[in-house]
Structure 1
């Protein structure tokens, strides 16, 4: 009886020791899931202008050099990169909001410029004064921004909140494109036109910020960050007229790393500085992000890119305008494109 008691006692002690050794492995808590970040919006969020895009089977021009990818890489967020070149408010509603859920942690969105027809306005204003109605085009866009845009944004923001009730939402604005000088061949923006175009960007930001505030969202305004880095500045963070044309008047790689990323990340938390490690991590995420976005490719292909058109002085309309203004168009072209 004593031998059995001693044996049982030893087995009990051994069993307790084994449980003690194994219990840390058995009761390890599950690793916390990465915060879910959904990037919505248009070309200023997708990364158009950076000249390198993920192969997701669309024309959305999503780039690992764009601020959503850089922020996600730096902070370890699980990114769903839905922003797409050409997207309007109806496009965001119809093709992008489905990515939002009650588990979404962060949302960023830039939209409204395409709805206001900003690409068409730039196309008109890039022509010589005698061939364009730049002021008329700006007036029409401003009427939309003052009249229709606020209500459309309010409806969109309400939909975002209902789909992602717990998310921190940051609405992202647009920079001023110009600095008063046009150094690009084959465009004829006057200083006065550039000033009005910058005022239009400010107006969109003002109306967008007001709508964001009403919805309880934060607003990231990039205007100050891009001062000294507009088209024709040095260094230039915004492309001028470019080849291919779709790159025109959009932030380049420096515009996203030095301009947008600190501003937007600062509205989400602490402002980020983009390091080489962040760039490398963002680039490494490209294949996985492309695979994720392919599931939405059919819907994304319904979005039509909004592209600035290069001035064409050979059209019958422009030649008629030249004759009416007393302009020898051939001499004008030769003189202004040397």
Structure 2
């Protein structure tokens, strides 16, 4: 049982809110200096109880170390915090979880003995996976901005009440806990460096802006409930998808690893939620093994594009309406189906060029 806040021994910790120091142990290359600011501490006692609630960002999805249907990676930030701070972790976070799932399946783990609660939640309520999937399609097949606006409608009308319900359940279940709720980082830097995703700059800007709106709500609700809001966007700046040092995966295999913080990103999150935790645990986090042969990579890319069914009657009609040469599109698909690595790689390049030309035409008419 944790003693009261007044009588517990507190270990002061500090954190860099720009670049968590622990990444120096996990990544190659020098990290720029950043300001140091005080941050909340994790209280220590003879017996500590830590419950990690939330979604895939809290389950460690993206670290390539799935352990169960919820993912719950040993390299997720809750596991890093527990290891660094000597806490007993009850890992409830689950990939794909919404606020309703937290209420139905996770908060039951809370109790009077719970000393620390961490959580990220809200992205799946807004259709995170479906929005990213829609926006990643070639421009003539997608309605990215429509998908984003559908999510924003839920954010503005329904998510505030859902967040109140979750925070109220935490307060009732763990009345003495130190509760820390995290926001989400920007995923994009304005450049799409992957042949198989077709994000335009305006789409990436809109996705980041939607993240800002979500984080503003999370901060408002969290601080309004008297809890600690954990801000990740500054720390993750310069480490988005396609940055030189990514803390967030781009398109990856298995696909579930895509667009989530990698092991370095979870070290960063650990330092933000419990300063010093990422630094303490970074040396115990092995490097991710992501290298693939060129032929394997091209084959997987070809299979992904073929799964888009680009030459279905409906998709060919959409391409024709957008001014995309359907003959070229059919030729691309034939080359992807050929099984020849060189032909498939060239076809992927042609498809990317088609999308770039489509975006340029749209820009010229705006």
TM-score range, shorter chain: 0.7 to 0.9
Distance change (3 Å), C-alpha of 1:329 and 1:224: farther
1:126 aligns with 2:139: no
Give the equivalent residue in structure 1 for 2:113.
Answer: 103
Q: 1:315 to 1:113 in 2, by over 3 A?
A: farther
Q: Is the 8 A contact 1:73 1:278 kept in 2?
A: no
Contact 2:85 2:277 in 1 (8 A): no
For the pair 1:69 / 2:66, whether they are aligned, the reply is no
CA distance in 2 between partners of 1:323 and 1:130 (Å): 9
Q: CA deviation at 1:34?
A: 2.3
Say whether the 8 Å CA contact 2:83–2:281 is kept in structure 1: no
Cα distance change, pair 275–62 in 1 and its aligned pair in 2 (3 A):
closer
- Would the aligned equivalents of 2:98 and 2:124 in 1 still touch at CA under 8 Å? yes
1:44 pairs with 46, 57, 70, which one? Answer: 57
Equivalenced residue count is 273
Partner of 1:86: 96
In structure 1, C-alpha distance between the alignment counterparts of 2:135 and 2:248, rounded to whole Å: 17
- 1:260 — aligned with what? 269
Q: Give unpaired runs (5+ residues) of structure 2.
A: 1-44, 287-303, 333-346, 354-366
Whole-angstrom distance in 2 between the partners of 1:149 and 1:44: 18
Post-superposition shift, 1:272? 4.8
In the alignment, what sits opposite 1:325? 322
Query: When the two structures are superposed, what TM-score results if normalisation uses the length of structure 1?
Result: 0.76
User: Pick from 150, 168, 187: which aligns with 1:177?
Assistant: 187
2:279 maps to 1:273: yes
RMSD: 2.0
Cα deviation 1:77-126 (Å, max 9, x = unaligned): 01001100000111111111111000000000111000000111111111
Listed as ranges, the matches of 1:127-206 within 5 Å are 127-206=137-216
In 2 relative to 1, CA 108–193 (structure 1 residues): closer, same or farther, beyond 3 Å? same
Change (3 A) 1:330 1:223: farther
Secondary structure of 2:116's partner? strand
Q: List runs of 5+ in structure 1 lacking aligned partners.
A: 1-31, 281-308
Q: Distance in 2 between matches of 1:327 and 1:212?
A: 47
Question: Secondary structure of the equivalent of 1:236?
Answer: coil
Q: Could you say which residue in structure 2 is the equivalent of 1:300? A: none
Conservation of the 8 A alpha-carbon contact between 1:74 and 1:278: no
Q: CA offset at residue 336 of structure 1?
A: 3.1
Q: Deviations over 1:141-176 (max 9, x none)?
A: 111111111111011100110000000000111110
CA drift at 1:318: 2.2
Q: Which structure carries more relative contact order (alpha carbon 8 Å, separation 6+)?
A: 1
| Residue of 231, 236, 259 corresponding to 2:241 | 231
Distance 2:230 2:80 in 1: 16
- Distance in 1 (alpha carbons) for counterparts of 2:100 and 2:75: 26
| Pair 1:163–1:330, CA change in 2 (3 A) | farther
The structure with the largest alpha-carbon Rg is: 1
